[in-house]
Amino acid sequence: MFRLTISALFALLSLGCAPSGAQSEYAIEQAPQPAPSELPSVSSNPELVTVQKLTGLEALNTWFAEKWANEVEIKNSDTPDLGKHLVLSVKAGDKDKVAVGILLNGSYGGEGKSLRMDFFNPGKETVKVAVGLFATGDRTYYESPVIEIARGWSSHALDLNSKQWKSEKSKWQFTEAPGNVIIEQLDVLIYTAKPITLDITYVSEPEKPAPAAEPKPVQKSTEGVSQPGVSQPLPPMKDENSVLTPEQVQKLGDKLTDADRNEIRKALDKLEE
């Protein structure tokens, strides 16, 4: 009788401890949380941001896969939850990363500016991402620290004025600040050798470089120089500077013969020619 009582109590305790509605792993994968209307940024100056209204570089179809990394499929998509976004389907490979890039011409390092990137990770595991920037001219390469993209939504603001980037100049230590350099290419690096999917839902556009100032035309002095096609008035002749006075000219004309006048005319015609 004692043994039967103990067995009955044990059965009741077991029933009370059993989970009533455990969710399967398949159900979690099939039903991710819906996109929140507001998402807190993880930048140095946190602020509320609206995900659906943001459209940037992720909407362009000029992204390409870097050939030195594992294979990745790039697809532009537009859905009610994510809006226009970039779908990266990573293939398994023997390298430790994949990389996608886009050509640019602008800066993220202006005062109060940053490079803003938003992601949606549909998988269970955290995805490690870094951002690479190539500066114009000598193509100096800067790389950000690794950003851990947890399951679901995340937003990140990378400050180019903060000394947390690495480059060859810093001996690949995270002590470099790219600053307001002009960027000609942006790469997104995903550190994985396994097949995963990651959505890039927003990449802010860079600030376009200021147009080069047009050189001012050189003002040349025209003092004492005759311009082509423009007749220059002769200065008035003063009597004291004249070789002959009007009276002397009159007397000389009276003394000229017809032959003299013909010679003068011929000389004037030659001068006009």
Quote the domain boundaries for residue 71: 52-203
Rounded CA separation 32/270 (Å): 101
pTM strictly above 0.75: no
Number of domains within the chain: 1
Domain membership flag for residue 236: no
Domain membership flag for residue 208: no
Relative to beta strand 141-143, strand 183-191 is unpaired
Structure tokens at 213: 């100032």
Domain membership flag for residue 39: no
Which domain CATH number covers 158? 2.60.120.430
- pLDDT category at 46 given cuts 50, 70, 90 is very low
Residue 179 has pLDDT above 80, yes or no: yes
Query: Which string of DSSP letters, residue by residue, matches 215-253?
Result: PPPP----TT-PPTT-PPPPPPPPGGG-SS-HHHHHHHH
Domain membership flag for residue 257: no
Domain membership flag for residue 235: no
Domain membership flag for residue 214: no
Among 73, 101, 68, residue whose Cα is nearest residue 88: 73
210-245 pLDDT tens trace? 777 777 776 665 555 555 555 555 555 555 555 667
pLDDT > 90: percent of the chain? 42
187-214 pLDDT tens trace? 999 999 899 999 999 999 999 987 777 7
Query: Which string of DSSP letters, residue by residue, matches 61-79?
Result: S--EE-TTS--EEEEEEEE
Domain membership flag for residue 123: yes
Domain membership flag for residue 8: no
